[in-house]
Structure 1
């Protein structure tokens, strides 16, 4: 019974946290995508997501900070942002994205501008 109450408490805490940040996050996310409209890794313009470099759960003060955000497509979000596992994160995702993008340009897979 204690385990059930603990799970319910965690559920409602998570629900409250999401609700408390949703209105501001929506505006920040929309503005960030407008300013950064392509995946920073592969250049895709499809299925874009705004990734928190340092997750909200790790540091709530960085939640709306543009320097803590990066635009990634859904595939690159999982691979570069979370090393293939959403339970972890990559604090060097921006540097890794830049490194990968340069290698793709050098290999002529993408040109000087990011492509879709």
Structure 2
């Protein structure tokens, strides 16, 4: 019984002493404002939070996401080539690619793809 109580006492006291020593030794004397501020993906955290956002950058990002999802939709077309009717497969594939090209032409015609004016 004495061994059990001693091991319980040591298993609680020893980690407590180690944690107290670690916290006292890890205290920094100089608190650096730059290191204690949160990191915000390259933005200066001391500047105004209401800085203007580039709408053109947002449009390019949305166009990229749309075309990225459409590329993911094109990949299964190659897989189902062997198991489907060739005429239906060709018609569906050409229609899908024509819709993609029509969207790309519309974005290009509207000037959304020109980054610098």
TM-score by length of 2: 0.27
Q: TM-score normalized by structure 1? A: 0.27
Which one has a larger percent strand, Structure 1 or Structure 2? 1
Q: Which has a greater percent of helix? A: 2
